[in-house]
Amino acid sequence: MEREEIKTYLPHRDPMLLVDSIVVETETAADGTKSQYAIATYHVRGDEYFLQGHFPDYPVVPGVILCEMMAQSCALLLGDEIKHKRPLYTGIDNVRFKNQVRPGDTIVIRSSITDRRQTIVFAKSEAKVDGKLCCRGNLSFALI
């Protein structure tokens, strides 16, 4: 799925739409249990608003923006259920930042839903550049 189709699912718009493409896949565990995960990408062009002051002489994608990219990836796993709803953060837990993300990098985000309680969704996600872990964490959000 590319940006135009992503816009039919997420309420985010430029400059806050932070997923360029996404593929949802299913894996089967040894016990036969199936689970879905998303692989999303975002290419950092260098002209994004969040790089203008972070930092002018050495632009680095802010950690909070990486978390937002991961959250959007998680929300897209809900498919049609997310349409016409707003996913709002309820928690960001155990987030760790391991490497910088800079202009020219393509971020690959792998996300999966770990639990649900009514309108609250729990997920885990990690962001990598060139196979190197940049950020990982557990996220939760409410569907409003």
Residue numbers annotated as active site:
54
Describe the chain by its helix, strand, coil percentages, rounded to 5. 15, 45, 40
Q: Which structure tokens are listed for 66? A: 């990486």
Q: Are 10 and 75 in contact (CB under 8 A)?
A: yes
Three-state DSSP state, 109: strand
Strand 120-129 and strand 106-117: the pairing is antiparallel
CB within 8 A of 96, min separation 6: which ones?
135, 136, 137
